[in-house]
Each structure stands twice: as C-alpha cells, then as structure tokens.
Amino acid sequence: MTLAAKPVPGWRWVVTPKYFHKCLRTLTEGTPGRKITMRKGCIILADKHSNMLAGIRRLLEDEAETVLMVTDEISLNHALETFNPDVVVADLSLPTSTETNIAWVLKKNFPRIKVIILSDHDEKSVLDDVMAAGVEGFVLKTRAVIDLIPAIRGVLQGCKYISPDMK
C-alpha cells in the first residue's frame, strides 16, 4: 500500500496538538508498503454518527496521543491495516458487509487488537453475543462519558470491561 500526504476518503484523523507535527511527518514521509506504527495511545473510533465521534474524541484528547475517526467498515478496515492501534472503540450498529455485527468482524479479521463495543442496547442477549465474539469491553452509549476511559485503561491492562448498568 502506498502512503500519500493527501487524506484517504472516509478518514478523519485527529492528533492531539503535542504530537501533530510528528504524526503528520510520519504520515507524509511513510515508506510505501510499510505499515505505520503509531506511538502508544493510538485509538480508532468507529461510529456512523459524526456527532458521537466528535464527542468521544473530545473525551479522549487527554488520554490518547492519536485518535483516528472513521464512519464505515471500509474505512475502519483500511485504518486497521495501516495503523497499529492499541484499542478500537466501535459502535455495535456500524453497518458491515456481512450479516454479522462489527464485533465478530473485528475479532475475526484482527484478533490481536483490543476492541471495546459501544451500544444503545442493554439486553443481556446482546452482551452475550458481543462477548462471545471475544471483545474486551462493552460500554453503553448512555454511560460513555463515565465508562469509556476506565474501559480503555482496563483493556490495555488485559482486563475485560462491562458497563455496570447492564441487565
């Protein structure tokens, strides 16, 4: 894959100001065919709602050095193949090319990446399905402000995280 200085369609990436110039240089001077390995603290956010992405990005600005935001499965797969994120935070309702939910797609195609699922659904059956896929965390969108940072910290330490309000 060839890296280019111009943005890839569907990508919106945000870097905290402290690391902006270093990451921009890495992106524009990358070696063709070589994966970009970001510094520790790279998080990919995937949600079809840009307002939700913007809110979560603001929440994580002080927690992560790099936050990449994508709005569809194709952009997410491209970002995962290019970057080496520490964590992916994905909306359960993100449309996929298959009938399965995004949790199964991510863990099948990228088993080493830590995945936290965001969801509006608080039913135990949804939680059971997502956890059976092998994800490391499940956070209710209604509790994202409270639970997301502890969830990310926990999964980075090898723990599982489930929002306390789950039925």
Say if CB 61 and CB 50 are below 8 A apart: no
d(Cα 125, Cα 1) in Å, to the nearest integer?
40
Domains and CATH numbers, the chain: 11-26+36-162 (3.40.50.2300)
Q: What is the pLDDT of residue 41?
A: 74
| Mean pLDDT to the nearest integer, 42-46 | 93
| Mean pLDDT to the nearest integer, 139-155 | 93
Q: What is the pLDDT of residue 167?
A: 59
Side-chain half-sphere CA neighbours of 101 within 13 A: 20
- 162 falls in which pLDDT band (50, 70, 90)? very high
Of residues 110 and 64, the one with the higher pLDDT is: 110
The secondary element (H helix, E strand) that includes residue 45 is strand 42-46
- 100 falls in which pLDDT band (50, 70, 90)? confident
For helices 144-156 and 50-60, the axis angle rounded to 10 degrees is 60
Residue 4 has pLDDT above 50, yes or no: no
Residue 147 has pLDDT above 50, yes or no: yes
Q: What is the pLDDT of residue 38?
A: 35
pTM of the model: 0.75
Find the distance separating the first CA and the last CA of the chain, reported in whole Å: 44
